[in-house]
Structure 1
């Protein structure tokens, strides 16, 4: 059974995971299932509400199913199998694949409920780390010391512990994106679709897309923008979200129906950054603690999974099989081709989404038009009957 260590006690383990959000909890689950003694340290016994990833779909669903956690996710989420994609009041096409919408804190709670007995949950704030090429010491305020062979830092964008170890963040793009999260409900009746992705109507608005999807508590909205947080539009949106959203996306009501933004509007400013001087004895970084991702690109969860899978399934077993925990060992994780490919792809997708949204050059204007028309064409071809498709193939000289 997962336990909470009483104040004043300590613990010895194979791996200490610092940070009990999504990445840290996933790492603890995988390592615990492999039979390692794991301490998961987080300041919160129950993870608090936090605006982070709130929807998964496509390949992510398959990957979570492969690691045996889809049941835990689905039990605390709303499933939907079709997303209407639209722009300027017109439907472009439909995405048909399983998706799940949830609140981030509910997802973390579901993951924590799946922790195996080999994992000990320690509730407390880590105020110091002592690392070496052999044993690591994690000091938890009013709890005692955790001694481990390896420390996994899954502390997200928090810099305190990394700076304690002399690690810094290299900012690649400051204030890359500004994302909003809020609840939305129909003004009367119901919405015209169960889930919707609505793309920005004008380049000058700096809006990539609005994603609307169900959760267990109602309809949720994520608005992905590339606007400066000091823009007057941002203040107007926070103060009058319904009116500002309707004025900025005038075609939205045509495909969604009349709507009302309810509750508080949350926002999240994201810098694209990567950790430096992180190849050190005894400690390794995963998820946002190593490299941040642009929310609009939708690569954060996928990259996080790659970090956790490669670390827990490949590198940790090799490291613990031999004495010591030197920086040379740790470097094998950062040099992992699969990890490096995921990191590079996330940065490339972040750059692409921003340029596709706000770049006014001729090449990007043409690309936007081609993307819209291609999606419409593919959608219309997909609606053709098998007989019509066969006749078109015959006329084009292709075998039916």
Structure 2
């Protein structure tokens, strides 16, 4: 048979598969089985396990690979991480920065001030997993089938083992095979909505750049560039480029093959800020469809993060949505659901009907459409709106320079 072998791994415990002789199949009992050990699944597992629930976090990778996903967090997202108890751990693994210089056409638009962090996505996932108590663990295996009911859920693993749980949380990102088997379908709202690029740069002379972080907005609608974000990570200055452009356009290949020259050609205003620089690693890119699932209301199972709805990376709402899902599901609904028998539709529907979740989902789609229109629409209405958008930011910045702190006081008065 197959039996789990527990192996210590720093601040967490990993469960791996160790084959032994015999014809029986080991069964792992849990309160909640979380399928997918990326950011959403790992955060959810840590929150629930720290609350004393028996959690089975299942992922086929013991260590999450170096993938191009979320690489910076700031603003309200930090408040959410603090509420969930992860901010101190993030501070230890990420690079903090507090000021972003925002430019367009080589001129300063304004300066954003506020705490933010840059990191490789794999480090963020490792941080989340490290917050799981020693008594909990990661099952390194692959889920091949899920059987759901109003009472107990059964998961079949590739190793031959089984997991039983009262609730299954699908945190599988955009990988939809398991959801498809359950009859859950993904509806495409905008195919190939955006393209993102990620790479790391350093100055040729080895000196630091003259800014903590920088955002350079696109200069021409025809280029389809929303913005290039530069922020510190341990390996250097990380670059995230967000575009609304056909992924088959030759410029995509140029960005991968000759990133330095292509970036300066598309954003010539950057030259005086970057000086002589070079890309130090492989240019990674990601094509994003905007999608939402349908037929997802099933007994004993919930979908969170990208498994439920995808986001536009340029809008910066993906982590906020994910954190709302984790917060509402794991601190509000799951503890209540586990106190009484059953896991039927009347319980599951409460999560999908949550006002905070619905608002975060709707805001994400709204911002996705806004960023695309602000970047790419060249009709007179959006041209005027674009000019007013950047002019308002520039004027606000100039007034704040002449009267430091006035903007903060105004915002504080409006919130009061």
Task: Provide the TM-score with structure 2 as the length reference.
Answer: 0.91
Report the counterpart of residue 377 of structure 1 in structure 2: 395
Query: Counterparts of 1:195 and 1:52 in 2: how far apart (Å)?
Result: 19
1:203 corresponds in structure 2 to 221
Q: Residue 248 of structure 1 aligns with which residue?
A: 266
The reply to whether residue 330 of structure 1 matches residue 348 of structure 2 is yes
Deviation per CA, 1:236-255, whole angstroms, max 9, x where unpaired?
A: 11111111111111110123
Mark the CA change 1:25 to 1:332 in structure 2 (over 3 Å): closer, same or farther.
same
CA RMSD of aligned residues (A): 1.5
**Greater mean alpha carbon deviation, residues 43-52 or residues 230-239:** 230-239
Q: Which position in structure 2 is the counterpart of 1:105?
A: 122
Q: Any residues of structure 2 matched to 1:77-88 within 5 Å, and which?
A: 77-88=94-105
Is the CA contact (8 Å cut-off) linking 2:143 and 2:157 kept in structure 1?
Answer: yes
- Answer whether contact 1:154 1:285 (CA < 8 A) is retained: yes
Q: Report how far residue 364 of structure 1 moved.
A: 0.8
Matches within 5 A, 1:385-396: 385=403
**Mapping of 1:311-322 within 5 angstroms?**
311-322=329-340
Structure-2 residue corresponding to 1:182: 199
What does the per-residue CA deviation read over 1:296-334, in whole Å, with 9 as the maximum and x for residues that have no partner? 000000000001111111111221122111122211111
Q: Give the equivalent residue in structure 2 for 1:133.
A: 150
| 1:172 paired to 2:189 | yes
Q: Offset of 1:187 from its aligned partner?
A: 2.7
2:162 aligned residue: 145
Counterpart Cα distance in 2 of 1:62 and 1:227: 33
The answer to whether residue 81 in structure 2 is matched with residue 70 in structure 1 is: no
Match of 1:275 in 2: 293
How many residues are paired up? 388
Q: 1:109 to 1:22 in 2, by over 3 A?
A: same
Matches of 1:385 and 1:367, distance apart in 2? 27
Q: Deviations over 1:169-192 (max 9, x none)?
A: 000000110000011111333322
d(CA) in 2 for partners of 1:84 and 1:287?
A: 30
Q: Is the 8 A contact 2:186 2:293 kept in 1?
A: yes
Distance, in Å, in 1 between the alignment partners of 2:208 and 2:331 is 46
What is the match of residue 4 of structure 1? 15
Question: 2:106 matched to which residue of 1?
Answer: 89
Give the distance between the partners of 1:322 and 1:68, measured in 2 at CA: 27
Instruction: Say whether the 8 Å CA contact 2:14–2:140 is kept in structure 1.
Output: no
Q: Which moved more, 1:148-157 or 1:31-40?
A: 31-40
Which residue number in structure 1 is paired with residue 249 of structure 2? Answer: 231
- Range 150-159 or range 328-337, more displaced: 328-337
Contact persistence 1:92–1:375 (CA under 8 A): yes
Deviates more, 1:367-376 or 1:18-27: 367-376
Aligned counterpart, 1:261: 279
Cα deviation, 1:150-197, whole Å, max 9, x if unaligned, reads 000000000110011011000000011000001111133332212100
Aligned partners of 1:355, 1:325: CA distance in 2, in Å? 42
**Structure 2 CA distance for aligned equivalents of residues 141 and 252 of structure 1:** 50
Who is 1:52 aligned against? 69
8 Å contact kept, 1:91–1:255: no
Range that drifts further, 186-195 or 33-42: 186-195
Aligned counterpart for 1:43 among listed residues 36, 57, 60? 60
Deviation, 1:382, is 1.0
Q: Distance in 1 between matches of 2:124 and 2:208?
A: 27
Aligned to 2:302: 284
For 1:113-132, what aligned pairs fall within 5 Å after superposition? 113-132=130-149
User: Which residue is equivalent to 1:34?
Assistant: 51
The alignment partner of 1:269 has SS state of strand
Q: In structure 1, list runs of 5 or more residues that go unmatched.
A: 390-400
Distance 2:130 2:46 in 1: 10
Trace 1:341-352 onto structure 2 (pairs within 5 A). Answer: 341-352=359-370
Report the CA distance shift for 1:385/1:3 in structure 2 as closer, same or farther (over 3 A): closer
Q: 1:300 aligns with which of 318, 331, 336?
A: 318
Question: Contact 1:175–1:270 (CA<8 Å) still a contact in 2?
Answer: yes
Deviations 1:221-272 (A, max 9, x none): 0000001111011111111111111111111012333322232110010000
In 2, distance between residues paired with 1:227 and 1:3? 42
By how many angstroms is 1:44 displaced?
A: 0.4
Q: Distance in 2 between matches of 1:297 and 1:23?
A: 18
Partners of 2:311 and 2:221 in 1: CA distance: 22
Query: In the TM superposition, what are the counterparts of 1:350-365 in structure 2 within 5 Å?
Result: 350-365=368-383
Alignment match, 1:222: 240
1:304/1:386 CA distance change after superposition, 3 Å: closer
